Amino acid sequence: MEHNDNTPEDFTKGEKQPGDRPYAAAILLKTFSIATDTIHKRRIANTLSIGIIGTDAAGGEMQTAIHRKTGDALPLGWHHQIANYPILNYQICVEQKLLSLGSMFLLSADASARLGTLINKVTIDGMTMLGFFNQPFKSVSNQKYKVQFYGYIHPQLNLVTYDATLPGGFFRSDPYTVLSRDVQRFVYQHHLGVVVKFFGFYAEYYNTWTTAEFRNGKTHGTGG
């Protein structure tokens, strides 16, 4: 299960904010499979996502409840959010190992493509991992460490042809959206993070920096 919320930079304004990102919430249920070629050190992952973008994703209710609990300013513009629209998205990703040093260092590259009603894009990226971890290109039977700890750097270049969180869903009329012609086709991101895995549990802290996603938009960072 995945839940994503997007708001303009100043979410304390109740009016529309032309030139900034529209309010958009999406909730997704994902299923995936990963096939590992241990000989050629390659992984192929397929992911299918279904869900909805819009009011039924309850982004406004969730953000408002969290901000009330934490004493932060309340978001006031969710009534301008992108309207309900079904999500059906497919992604394929091919990852290739380039270099590794035991269980302490890994350098890999991958390419992926997403197609569907939420986002259409092609991505090329790389991954550098440093720490203490099971090598992802080995078979499951050879994954011997129950506790793993590592940091990673993940640069990423995206070619975006469609993103429903900006212009809205196909054939829908929304209170406010970014025009399709203003969506940036090339978007760069880099991700930094620290991961701890122990006995089936997983914890991560990350920070992401993204270039402008639409004309006159701003670079921005997120974390979690």
Domain housing 121 = 2-223
Q: How far apart are CA 120 and CA 108, in angstroms?
A: 24
The answer to whether the beta carbons of residues 135 and 121 sit under 8 Å apart is no
Q: How many domains does the chain have?
A: 1
Stretch 128-133: mean pLDDT, rounded?
A: 95
Q: What CATH number does the domain containing 91 carry?
A: 2.40.128.140
SS3 content of the chain, % helix, strand, coil (to 5): 10, 55, 35
Supply the pLDDT for residue 197.
93
H/E element, 81:
none
pLDDT one-digit tens code per residue, 173-200: 677 889 889 999 999 999 999 999 998 8
The answer to whether the beta carbons of residues 79 and 55 sit under 8 Å apart is no
pLDDT one-digit tens code per residue, 67-118: 999 999 999 999 999 999 999 999 999 999 999 998 899 999 999 999 999 9
Q: How far apart are CA 44 and CA 52, in angstroms?
A: 26
Query: Structure pTM?
Result: 0.88
pLDDT one-digit tens code per residue, 147-166: 999 999 999 999 999 999 99
User: Cα angle vertex 185, ends 14, 55, to 5°?
Assistant: 35
